[in-house]
Amino acid sequence: MNIYDLAIIGGGPAGYTAAKLAGKNRLKTVLFEKNNIGGVCLNEGCIPTKTLLYSAKVYQSARDAAKYGVSCGATAYDLPKIIARKNKIVRKLSAGIRARMHEAGVETVTGEAIIRAKGERHEAQAIKCNGQIYLADKLLLCTGSETVIPPIPGLSETGFWTGREALETKEVPESLLIIGGGVIGIEFASFFNTLGAKVTVVEMTDEILTGMDKALSALLRNELSKKGIEFHLNAMVVSVNGRQIEIEKAGEKSVSEVSKILLSVGRKAVLTGFGLETLNLELFGNGLKVNGYMQTSCPGVYACGDITGFSLLAHTAVREAEIAVGHILGKNEKMSYKAVPGVIYTHPEMAGAGKTEEALRSENVAYTVKQLPMAYSGRFVAENEQGNGICKILESEDGTILGVHILGNPASEIIAIAGIAIEKGWKAGDLKAVIFPHPTVGEIIKETL
Ligand code: NAI
């Protein structure tokens, strides 16, 4: 029988980060993954979508080249080649993770791991995989999340894409109806719109991108509307019958005809199918309850990533894995969710870190708003012909930076500056005292303060 210091179930960003760190720190570690290493993030989430969105951006840049004094002639895209490039990148990064596991001395097992009840003869956690029993002193659960499928009449019979199928398509649908205006829905809306599909988004709340700054979400929606995406807010798809989609908005029903449906109404923690019930763990909200060290209610069992059900972001999962393994190694560092960046990789990009105005109002926290158009950054103006955008900073009464929200490229890159300031509890003056390189778009943060 194999005995390990740490067994990890799930090889996504939480699982492989934890495995690498544990292995490097000489913990005898086994990592179980039933599919490809890298999880949803690498295989059918973050990386593939960003790869496709980058192809769309290059195509758009070629079409816009004349605005920058460059002539490109006729522009065209080749979707099978875009998808093939995406697959090549996923394979390359996947091989990189496998190599890192090997370097760290982690044993990676491809197969479905099932947690077994503790036997009388041993105190360790027992996991069965491929007919073998593995015993481990500590167990880390990183099984991730799966797509929520709502019970919309006729939807399953008609068939629909989730992000997984949309990433594999060889053809751009003539028209695409996206159910759910969250992160996945809006990123795919941007991609397929750029490639020429007629895209409609149906969102049940009063604004897209719940959880992001509401005013900036409305501005992004406006930018995407100008590109031809149609939005139905406060609306629900009530039934599907082949190409006919029945939408209800303010009590009124209408029928649209579309060639494809993409479902993106959220994801939920994976809590079944791997013997979790034998541990009888406490739940919290839609996931497993954990404390600041990522410990579950069962001694020796930790959980990180989407299985905890509240952040559902790869970068949160990575930090949680660092905290969990740190704790196993005897460190006392607690998880902080103060400055988790949220990023929408549309064109233009949008990103936020820290509190939104909506969150501060609901928590009754007094704050002031500082805001500037992105055009105050020379670099932004140089690189974004006719581009709009905003940088908004929320401060407490004593000047502590509580939240930063940016619409405009490359928000995804510069938001990390804000994340550092918020995480460290910096005041506006602390960040203003830092020298930013000039000209960079990131200077907009310093300018806004
Ligand atoms: P989401 O929770 O971001 O958005 C789902 C949206 O669907 C919400 O706005 C909700 O109001 C709406 N909705 C729910 N039921 C509906 C219905 N029946 N009809 C119409 N609208 C409905 O979920 P999404 O976009 O599926 O993404 C899942 C997770 O993946 C997110 O939690 C996100 O954090 C993560 N993700 C992150 C990315 C990033 O950081 N760039 C990219 C892709 C996914």
- Between the CA of 332 and the centroid of ligand 1 the distance, in Å, is 34
Q: Which of 233, 265, 297 is the last residue of a domain?
A: 265
pLDDT of residue 120: 54
Is residue 225 located within the same domain as residue 374? no
Among 349, 434, 444, 428, which residue's Cα sits nearest to residue 392?
A: 444
Is residue 171 located within the same domain as residue 308? no
Match 């990064």 to its residue by tokens.
93
Question: Is residue 409 a part of any domain in this protein?
Answer: yes
Is residue 108 located within the same domain as residue 142? yes
- Which of ligand 1's atoms lies nearest the C-alpha of 148? 26
172 three-class SS: coil
CATH number at residue 243: 3.50.50.60
Written as one letter, the residue type at 216 is L
- Output the CA torsion sign for 447, 346, 53, 227: negative
- pTM equals 0.96
As for how many domains the chain has, the answer is 3
pLDDT digits (tens, 9 = 90+) for 38-94: 999 999 999 999 999 999 999 999 999 999 999 999 999 999 999 999 999 999 999
pLDDT of residue 119: 61
Question: Is residue 336 a part of any domain in this protein?
Answer: no
- Measured at the CA of 103, the angle between CA 101 and CA 106, to 5 degrees, comes to 40
CATH number at residue 401: 3.30.390.30
Is residue 280 located within the same domain as residue 141? yes
Give the DSSP H/E element, type plus range, for residue 204. Answer: none
- Between the CA of 63 and the centroid of ligand 1 the distance, in Å, is 30
* 206's tokens: 């009063």
State in Å, rounded, how far the first CA of the chain is from the last one. Answer: 60
Is residue 139 located within the same domain as residue 286? yes
Is residue 137 located within the same domain as residue 171? no
pLDDT digits (tens, 9 = 90+) for 366-391: 999 999 999 999 999 999 998 989 99
Q: Which of 265, 285, 310 is the last residue of a domain?
A: 265
Is 438 a residue of the active site? yes
Q: Which of 278, 295, 328 is the last residue of a domain?
A: 328
Cβ-in-10-Å burial (0-12, 13-18, 19+) of 349 comes to: buried
- Which of ligand 1's atoms lies nearest the C-alpha of 147? 26
Question: Is residue 335 a part of any domain in this protein?
Answer: no
Q: Are 154 and 241 in contact (CB under 8 A)?
A: yes
d(CA 380, CA 407): 11
Question: Is residue 429 a part of any domain in this protein?
Answer: yes
Q: Give the residue, by CA position, lying nearest to ligand 1 atom 43.
A: 184
- Which of ligand 1's atoms lies nearest the C-alpha of 183? 25
Alpha helices in 69-116 (DSSP H): 79-103
What are the backbone dihedrals phi and psi of residue 198, each rounded to the nearest 5 degrees, phi first?
Answer: -85, 110
Among 148, 113, 125, which residue's Cα sits nearest to residue 286?
A: 148
pLDDT of residue 402: 98
Is residue 246 located within the same domain as residue 274? no
Q: Are 6 and 27 in contact (CB under 8 A)?
A: yes
Q: In what order do the strands lie in the sheet with 198-202?
A: 230-232, 198-202, 175-179, 260-263
* 320's tokens: 């949680």
Active-site residue, selected from the candidate residues 232, 327, 347, 438: 438
pLDDT of residue 139: 97
- Between the CA of 168 and the centroid of ligand 1 the distance, in Å, is 20
Written as one letter, the residue type at 327 is H
d(CA 354, CA 345): 18
Question: Is residue 413 a part of any domain in this protein?
Answer: yes
Radius of gyration of the chain (CA): 23
Is residue 395 located within the same domain as residue 410? yes
User: DSSP E strands: which ranges in 60-154?
Assistant: 107-110, 114-116, 125-129, 132-141, 145-147
pLDDT digits (tens, 9 = 90+) for 402-433: 999 999 999 999 999 999 999 999 999 999 99
d(CA 16, CA 43): 14
Name residues of the chain where pLDDT drops below 50: none
Is residue 354 located within the same domain as residue 243? no
Is residue 360 located within the same domain as residue 395? yes
Is residue 391 located within the same domain as residue 300? no
- Domain hosting 190: range is 155-265
Pocket of ligand 1 (CB under 6 A): 45, 150, 179-185, 187, 202-205, 210, 236-237, 264-267, 312-313, 343-345
What are the backbone dihedrals phi and psi of residue 428, each rounded to the nearest 5 degrees, phi first?
Answer: -55, -40
pLDDT of residue 124: 83
